[in-house]
Amino acid sequence: MRSRGVGALAASPTLVGAITSLIVILAVFLAYNANNGLPFVPSYRISVEVPNAEVLLPGNDVRIGGVRVGFVESVEPIQDPQTGAVHAKVDLKLDKTVDPLPTDSSVIVRAKSALGLKYLEIDKGTSRQGFPEGSILPLAAAHPHPVEIDQVLNTFDTATRHAVQQNLVAFGDALAGRGPGLNATLGELQPLVDQLEPVARNLASKKTGLGRFFTALANTASEVAPVAETQAQMFVALDSTFGAFAAVARPFIQETISETPPTLDTLIRTAPRISSFLGHSATLFAELRPGIKSLSENSPAIASALETGAEVLPGAPKLNAQLAPTTKTLEAFATDQGVKAGVRRSTQLFDFLTPTVRFLTPAQTFCNYPSLLFRNAADLLSVGDGIGTWQRFTVYSGGQIDQNPPGVNSSNSENSPSSGPADGPPSPSGFQTFLHANPYPYTAAPGQPHVCASGNEKYIPDKVVIGNPPVTQARTEQTGG
């Protein structure tokens, strides 16, 4: 049965051709997609952002340490929404062995050949944290910036090529006819080569780290390159600066350098005192703030005073010139025996007058009595003619003013001399016949209240009032009289 089945299968040309065609198609399919990875093989997909994808195409290699670990699936441009700058996002399909890629890894687009073929190189980091599948490496991970072959070739522009030609001509002219001299020079280089051999051996040693030195130089150059123009301007400015320094280098800068150490020693010694002084100064300025605020508010008045002072100050020298003789005169006056005796007598006079003045002063300042006395005395004889003056007076007669009503005793009437104070009822015409008199009014003398009763009393009808009334008015500027 089994032999029959195999023979039947081999005896069928149609079936054999179909199987052969299927195998060929499968081989062609696998060969065509070899760059895109084998089907049904697990992969690790991430994306990276680079400043410029250059001529990076889908299917280009992705390498780590020169070993292919995947390929580029797609490349698409991306525009930054904030700055508007455009860069590229590259989607990668990597082997599962790369998963996860450390977060401190970096990428760079490198040239695979001089014909423009590119590949993406990943510098794998050492972080324990990795990018999960589907992550995007940020633009900051794309460093350093590669130098393309076209950039190198572009350095040989027309001016550079012409300069190289001139250099070759000059070198040729310099070497022409100098063969024997060059031979002698090469012969003399033998001792130098002998000494150079151990030096080169040391430089080639791994312990020297010469490779790291050039790597560091490359990193330094990559950092300095973007600011090369700025640095060139800095050196131009430094030339101007040092040129100015050269003019004052001696003796000024030289003395500054020589005096700096003792100055620093003095500063170290006096710094605690200076610190205390600064602390007190801070307190002083804090306390001066209210005064400064008040000064700003009163600045118009101060400005006016200064303007007035500016007008007055020109005359100050003349005043100062008179101060010396004036002071000498005052000194002679003060030391004169007659002046001293006069001052003593004046002091005695003032001592004698003090009780009288102390008594009269309130009568004048509170009640104005002395002034009224002199005014009334002057008015008494103020009327007259060419012959002389006469005293002013008026005679009051009881019969002229009003007659006492029936039943009223005339002995106490105010209309004529009486034996007692008037205490009768009013007259028919309404004239009051009640005596109001204040023979000893308050004058604000020592021991008396500061009131002026005389001439300021309130009249109390139908009552005899002799002396100060129960209610008196306060201080007045003028009283009756």
> pLDDT by residue (tens digit) across 333-349?
888 898 889 999 999 99
- Bridge partners, residue 120, by sequence: 62, 109
Token pair, residue 452, equals: 């002026």
pLDDT, tens digit (0-9, with 9 covering 90-100), for 251-286? 888 888 888 999 989 989 899 888 888 889 999 999
pLDDT, tens digit (0-9, with 9 covering 90-100), for 171-209? 888 888 788 888 888 888 888 888 888 888 888 888 888
Q: Checking phi first, is residue 68 left (phi over 0); if not, alpha (psi -120 to 50) or beta?
A: beta
Residue 30 reports pLDDT greater than 70? no
Task: Determine the pLDDT at residue 1.
Answer: 44
Q: What is the Cα–Cα distance from 467 to 465, expressed in whole angstroms?
A: 7
Task: Determine the pLDDT at residue 481.
Answer: 45
pLDDT, tens digit (0-9, with 9 covering 90-100), for 83-142? 888 888 888 888 888 888 888 888 888 877 766 678 888 888 888 888 888 888 888 888
Rounded average pLDDT over 446-466: 72
Give residue 375's pLDDT band: very low, low, confident or very high (50, 70, 90). confident
Give residue 404's pLDDT band: very low, low, confident or very high (50, 70, 90). low
What 3 state SS string does the chain have?
Answer: CHHHHHHHHHCCHHHHHHHHHHHHHHHHHHHHCHHHCCCCCCEEEEEEEECCCCCCCCCCEEEECCEEEEEEEEEEEEECCCCCCEEEEEEEEEEHHHCCEECCCEEEEEECCCCCCEEEEEECCCCCCEECCCCEECHHHECCCCCCHHHHHHCCCHHHHHHHHHHHHHHHHHHCCCHHHHHHHHHHCHHHHHHHHHHHHHHHCCCCCHHHHHHHHHHHHHHHHHHHHHHHHHHHHHHHHHHHHHHCHHHHHHHHHHHHHHHHHHHHHHHHHHHHHHHHHHHHHHHHHHHHHHHHHCHHHHHHHHHHHHHHHHHHHHHHHHHHHHHHHHHHHHHCHHHHHHHHHHHHHHHHHHHHHHHHHHHHHCCCHHHHHHHHHHHHCCEECCCCEECCCCCCCHHHHCCCCCCCCHHHCCCCCCCCCCECCCCCCCCCCECEECCCCCCCCCCCCCCCCCCCCCCCCCCCEECCCCCCCCCCCCCCC
Map tokens 């602390």 to a residue: 279
Task: Determine the pLDDT at residue 312.
Answer: 85
Residue 410 reports pLDDT greater than 70? no
Q: What is the Cα–Cα distance from 385 to 389, expressed in whole angstroms?
A: 6
* First and final C-alpha spacing in the chain: 172
Burial profile 351-383: b = 16 or more Cβ within 10 angstroms, e = fewer: eeeeeeeeeeebbbebbbbeebeeeeeeeeeee
Token pair, residue 181, equals: 């001299």
Task: Determine the pLDDT at residue 40.
Answer: 56
Dihedral (Cα; 310, 312, 317, 323), 10-degree rounding: -140
Angle CA 453–456–462, to nearest 5: 100
Helix 2-10 and helix 13-32, axial crossing angle in degrees, nearest 10: 70
Give residue 382's pLDDT band: very low, low, confident or very high (50, 70, 90). confident
Query: Dihedral of CA 294/298/299/303: which sign?
Result: negative
Dihedral (Cα; 377, 378, 380, 384), 10-degree rounding: 160
Map tokens 């029936």 to a residue: 406
Task: Determine the pLDDT at residue 347.
Answer: 92
Angle CA 311–313–316, to nearest 5: 135
Q: Where are the domains of the chain?
A: 1-32, 41-153, 352-383+392-481
pLDDT, tens digit (0-9, with 9 covering 90-100), for 147-171? 667 677 788 888 888 888 888 888 8
CB atoms within 10 A of CB 25: 10
Q: Taking a C-beta distance cutoff of 8 angstroms, is the pair 142, 106 a contact?
A: yes
Q: Is the pTM of this model over 0.75?
A: no
Distances (CA, A) of 103 to 74, 99, 231, 309, 310: 22, 11, 34, 79, 79
pLDDT, tens digit (0-9, with 9 covering 90-100), for 299-336? 888 888 888 888 888 888 888 888 889 998 988 888 88
Give residue 426's pLDDT band: very low, low, confident or very high (50, 70, 90). low
Residue 34 reports pLDDT greater than 80? no
* Rg of the chain over all Cα atoms, to the nearest angstrom: 63
Q: What is the Cα–Cα distance from 113 to 131, expressed in whole angstroms?
A: 30
